[in-house]
Structure 1
């Protein structure tokens, strides 16, 4: 290895307040961030749950106001962001509380980025503007509170928002959208259904795993990824089978944040395919990654076999090798009742050519260990639809 290649620009997350019951600290944290009248942006499914009342009461208890916006789709679209900005401006808000799963937090972060802008989100992006065109002073402080353990959006510098007019997911990137504080309270994940626990947990695995396999130089992220994968191995089955196990819930929330920290090293083919499939079929992102995982691993086998042998040894798998790791992934998916192929989500091969084109254009494709063409992504997608695990 040439020492001149050992170079990188590295960033790590923000202040995190982790532990059971820490939601009660929200009001004090808002004041610490300089907020007097934040806007609470949530997933619509949370609106009637006690945790939202507790969050607003925590703000009230320290003498600050708190508005509410919950018009966010499971795969958030540009209009959700634009509507949130309108509510933010009309209410005279001065900060964002991003509360929910990846969708709610992604939408909330995008609202913060656009809070002082006059254009719509996609109008701004299509005008050739970039994150450097928005001064930090125009982005209000953000406090993120995750309620799932998958995307790790609470420690991310990007949001994934669907351009529903063109059926494409776009990555809105801005380092200044990193939340100033994260309140990570595992008790907020206790009510998640098994299917969502499994799908979001596999999303956390995909983030750590693709970061671990990415070709870019970032040894700190690699170290975080390998431990994040171990946490998923040890705790996702328990968190799914017994949703009230707070130790398992806690460890999975940590694994989720670790995955999003690690994937600044890069993502890969799983996400390059999952993003267009989510836009075209409105399917759950974590479930897509869970199904795609073995197909992408097999496609990348030639360049990741040694790496996965080392990972298998760290995980304590018998006969450490690529095959032992793949066998563990397949067994885990079966245990979690993940479909074997994309047809289980009602997806067929009719749009294979379009999927391949969108995948190669997705920024995540740049982190795949092997550079794939449109046609190769199309064939990989077809294998994932038909359940063909042959190399």
Structure 2
């Protein structure tokens, strides 16, 4: 089967190996004539990034790059990126990388034309309507990992460095105009990142599937996304050059991020404050939290998880699914506790407070309270 296609859900996606060669045409389609490529420090000097800049330069679009992006990007990174965008007279952004580069790139495009401060646009109520939509610069997104799915998302996750809280900035126009999903760009990911990002995609699918909100389209997408992770993440982990596995994982990432329009839940509600305070890898933190959250939600999800298990070819219903998740984590050497993740004596009160204020909490199938969230957290300490 040829894994090459053009999709238009939820935005224009050019999917297939080698399609980074279309980056200049993608910019033209988005109306960008002078792009700023935004990526993280680790990617800035890598061959895939330099090749992309060469392609832009050869097309007369320049080779401007901003890479002062932390693994959990914050408002300082955003301010510096906006300054680089304005100083360079850019008219659009190529958001390039994993979740950090994609989220920060989208945020730079969003903020560059605004006059209000960043936190005025936090995802609370209708705060997104405060933005001047016409001032949002166009975005071309190029993922280089298969996890967050931020390339097909309408939001950016940004850490408030002063309060050490992860916040979500939402606006419909943050959705990139064009996405290039080229699995060849993910071939160089080390096994640890392949596993962590892949488990992030899996967490998105599981939580979207379990969310009590009504969204059958997302439900189906989440279920098939789980199947792709089950079938292809072990292959991508074992052989990073397995292009078929890399392609299916790139699809699963985009599917998970599209599916969680239905909602997320306690996995992300916990991992967001943990990551913001202790700077852990997001996908790996999700994986650490998932077994305990499945047990926590059992009264509300036992039957639908049993249905998912049947679709995925997992015997044993809910318990079989949980055993599968444990075995999957073990196969990637995922720590079982926060202590094993390197977090000694975590601030329980602070994490619980952060979890209860996180937007993901509202999508959890079991209502989260201070008491039961504390008990849940203590299971993974």
Per-residue deviation, 1:376: 1.5
Q: For residue 4 of structure 1, what is the aligned residue in structure 2?
A: none
Per-residue deviation, 1:12: 5.0
**What stretches of structure 2 of length at least 5 have no aligned partner?**
1-7
Which TM-score applies when normalising by structure 1?
Answer: 0.93
Q: For residue 334 of structure 2, what is the aligned residue in structure 1?
A: 338
Q: Any conservation in 2 of the 1:154–1:182 contact (CA below 8 Å)?
A: yes
Which TM-score applies when normalising by structure 2?
Answer: 0.95
Match of 1:57 among 54, 57, 62: 54
Match of 1:182 among 179, 183, 188: 179
1:305 aligns with 2:315: no
SS in 1 for 2:60: coil
| Alpha carbons of structure 1 residues 137 and 242: separation in structure 2 relative to 1, 3 Å | same
Equivalent-residue separation in structure 2 for 1:84 and 1:119 (angstroms): 16
Q: Any conservation in 2 of the 1:158–1:171 contact (CA below 8 Å)?
A: yes
Equivalent-residue separation in structure 2 for 1:276 and 1:90 (angstroms): 34
Q: Any conservation in 1 of the 2:36–2:90 contact (CA below 8 Å)?
A: yes
Q: Give the 5 Å matches for 1:230-241.
A: 230-241=227-238
Q: For residue 196 of structure 2, what is the aligned residue in structure 1?
A: 199
Q: Any conservation in 1 of the 2:15–2:182 contact (CA below 8 Å)?
A: yes
Cα distance per residue 1:173-194 (max 9 Å; x no partner): 1111000000000011111111
Match of 1:107 among 68, 79, 104: 104
Per-residue deviation, 1:352: 0.9
Cα distance per residue 1:63-108 (max 9 Å; x no partner): 2223110000000010100110000000000000000000110011
Q: For residue 319 of structure 2, what is the aligned residue in structure 1?
A: 323
Match of 1:72 among 55, 63, 69: 69
Per-residue deviation, 1:60: 2.2
Q: For residue 5 of structure 1, what is the aligned residue in structure 2?
A: none
Q: For residue 247 of structure 2, what is the aligned residue in structure 1?
A: 250
Q: How many residues align?
A: 374
| Alpha carbons of structure 1 residues 317 and 123: separation in structure 2 relative to 1, 3 Å | closer
1:363 aligns with 2:369: no
Cα distance per residue 1:287-346 (max 9 Å; x no partner): 100110000000000110000110000001123x10010010001111111111111112
Q: For residue 348 of structure 2, what is the aligned residue in structure 1?
A: 352
Equivalent-residue separation in structure 1 for 2:354 and 2:235 (angstroms): 36
Q: For residue 388 of structure 1, what is the aligned residue in structure 2?
A: none
Equivalent-residue separation in structure 1 for 2:355 and 2:210 (angstroms): 18
